[in-house]
Amino acid sequence: MIQLYISGISKDRISDISCNYIKSFLIDFTIEQCEINDIPTEGVILDSVYNYQANSFDFNQKLFLPVNPKTREPLIFTPKRWLRFNPWINFEDYFKSHCPRDEIFNPNEPQERVKVLNFNRENYGVIEEYVKYKDRTAKDCKNDPLFSQIPVLSAKRKLNELLKLNTGKEDGADMKYEDLAADLLATLFYPHLDFAQTQSRTESGRHIRDLIFYNNRDVDFLDEIFVEYENRQLVIEMKNVKKIERDHINQLNRYLQSNIGRFGIFLTRNPLPKAMLTNTIDLWSSQRKCIIAITDDDLKLMVDVYESKQRAPIEILKKKYVEFRRSCPS
């Protein structure tokens, strides 16, 4: 937590401090590796080694360690896997995802670290809540080299930009809607739906843009649509329209074939009109194809649960599916 209050303290300095306190363990590790790999050692004197049993430092300790051949300074090894991680609580994460920037900086003002530190010292409650949040979500402390989710604040901003768009194509609103929605959903559905990719297709002279996910099947709902509808992939057709019409449903229906699966989603602004909902229920009854719609209100709820971490946003999609199935004939 020091790095959130004091200038000149960041992950490198924290790493140095930590290593000073665990030096005896690292020395044991170093000696073990030298024995395994036949690395020569020499007698050296270390200024201090923390004694965790006595809770104090032992000074001028003589040990046998490898040395730097040029400087003759003793070397202490660190497990390679440790170097792949950052502290779970760190300034960069706080600044990106939790820092109330609008309260700290004036518009167009440089975002200097020292102003953030000053704010933190005067608003301890903000840091306290951040630390509590990081403690609650400690199970998420893992790296994924293939994907990086957008921060909560960025998710909110993208949602707000999307909600401000008019329906239709004027001023490129449809393309802006699709770009914002693709970024949002790729983050909100990760890691349950992965490897998101936008793909364009043309049907009846109309340009249609889809968002396609790989189905990881790691939650019960996704496994169910794999088993029941054969969806190894999940297709979301993005429609920035005031209401979904019969032609839209017919287009998506024709697309739901064996290479995709029989479950498809509209991302659109408003709920399906009653007649169109009836149309999708009839499709399920006759062809066992399932089409549901995600709306602006659903996206708001997804971003809310993404922020709170109380539930996974994929559960909003599951809720929509459960509601649809309950409306179908048994």
- In the chain, what percentage of residues exceed pLDDT 70? 93
How high does pLDDT run on average in the chain?
88
Provide mean pLDDT across the span 54-67.
93
pTM (two decimals): 0.57
Q: What is the mean pLDDT of residues 49-63?
A: 91
Mode of pairing for the β-strands spanning 290-294 and 263-268: parallel
Strand (E) positions, the chain? 42-51, 56-65, 193-203, 206-215, 233-239, 263-268, 290-294
Confidence of residue 90 (pLDDT cuts 50, 70, 90): confident
Model confidence at 181, in pLDDT bands (50, 70, 90)? very high
pLDDT band at 92 (very low <50, low <70, confident <90, very high): confident
**Angstrom distances, CA of residue 232 to CA of 188, 214, 261, 266, 288:** 19, 6, 7, 18, 16
DSSP letters, 151-196, are PHHHHHHHHHHHHHSPSSSGGGHHHHHHHHHHHHHHHHSTTTEEEE
Instruction: Check residues 263 and 206 and name the one with the higher pLDDT.
Output: 263
Please write the tens of the pLDDT for every residue from 108-167: 888 888 999 999 999 988 888 888 888 887 766 665 666 667 777 788 889 999 999 999
Q: Residue 205: its pLDDT value, please?
A: 57
pLDDT the model gives residue 148: 66
